[in-house]
């Protein structure tokens, strides 16, 4: 299993470190050929509109859509959640989302950069809380019938799974707790 890390923009290295600590092979993805060479993809945090534009200019947008539609496992954190969502609220009109998970996401829902926070989350399937870091985070406003909400905070889902796609509004790569990355590996 080779995990691709979308490396156009955002927090790539911390994800590589987390998966490496779990013994998983990772590689950076910047081109369609590199995308074709991976079994699963992580879309990191960053800035979702910038990421959306870079997916187009790199030629990755359509190949990524095809791979996701074909069932490629994917993990999206923060901006990655927005990119993988079915619907994005408060996004730009030209911002593309890939519909890999049936959720409606609101960008920057918890507020601006100064409103970033940390919280201990009760995560379905984990014995102890997960300490989560939220930075200009989105949250889920609606989920489809096939989506499992794994964690919520302030009444909003922030960790969801549908099949082999998992999305988080927070940054699990910014902690030493590898359980969210391990959960993704268990889905692939």
Please list, in sequence order, all residues whose beta carbon lies within 8 angstroms of the beta carbon of residue 53, skipping any fewer than 6 positions away.
Answer: none
Compute the CA torsion angle 186, 58, 55, 136 (nearest 10 deg).
Answer: 90
Helix (DSSP H) and strand (DSSP E) numbers for the chain: 6, 12
Question: Is position 15 annotated as part of the catalytic site?
Answer: no
Residue in 15, 78, 160, 181 annotated catalytic: 78
What does each C-alpha distance from 171 to 15, 21, 56, 67 come to in angstroms? 9, 17, 24, 24
Question: Is position 171 annotated as part of the catalytic site?
Answer: yes
Question: Is position 78 annotated as part of the catalytic site?
Answer: yes
Residue in 15, 160, 173, 181 annotated catalytic: 173
Give the CA radius of gyration of the chain.
15
Residue in 15, 47, 131, 171 annotated catalytic: 171
Pairing of strands 156-162, 148-153: antiparallel
- Residues labelled catalytic: 78, 171, 173
């Amino acid at each position: 299993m080779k995990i691709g890390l979308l490396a156009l923009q955002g927090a790539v290295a911390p994800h590589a470190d987390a998966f490496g600590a779990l013994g998983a092979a990772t590689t950076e993805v910047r081109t369609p050929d590199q995308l074709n060479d991976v079994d699963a993809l992580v879309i990191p945090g960053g800035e979702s509109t910038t990421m959306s534009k870079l997916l187009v200019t790199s030629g990755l947008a359509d190949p990524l859509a095809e791979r996701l539609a074909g069932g490629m496992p994917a993990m999206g954190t923060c901006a990655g959640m927005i990119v993988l969502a079915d619907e994005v609220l408060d996004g730009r009109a030209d911002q593309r989302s890939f519909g890999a998970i049936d959720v409606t996401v609101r960008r920057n829902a918890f507020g601006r950069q100064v409103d970033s926070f940390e919280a201990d989350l009760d995560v379905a399937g984990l014995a102890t809380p997960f300490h989560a870091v939220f930075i200009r985070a989105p949250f889920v406003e609606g989920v489809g019938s096939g989506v499992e909400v794994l964690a919520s905070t302030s009444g909003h889902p922030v960790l969801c799974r549908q099949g082999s796609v998992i999305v988080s509004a927070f940054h699990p790569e910014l902690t030493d707790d590898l359980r969210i990355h391990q959960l993704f590996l268990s889905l692939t």
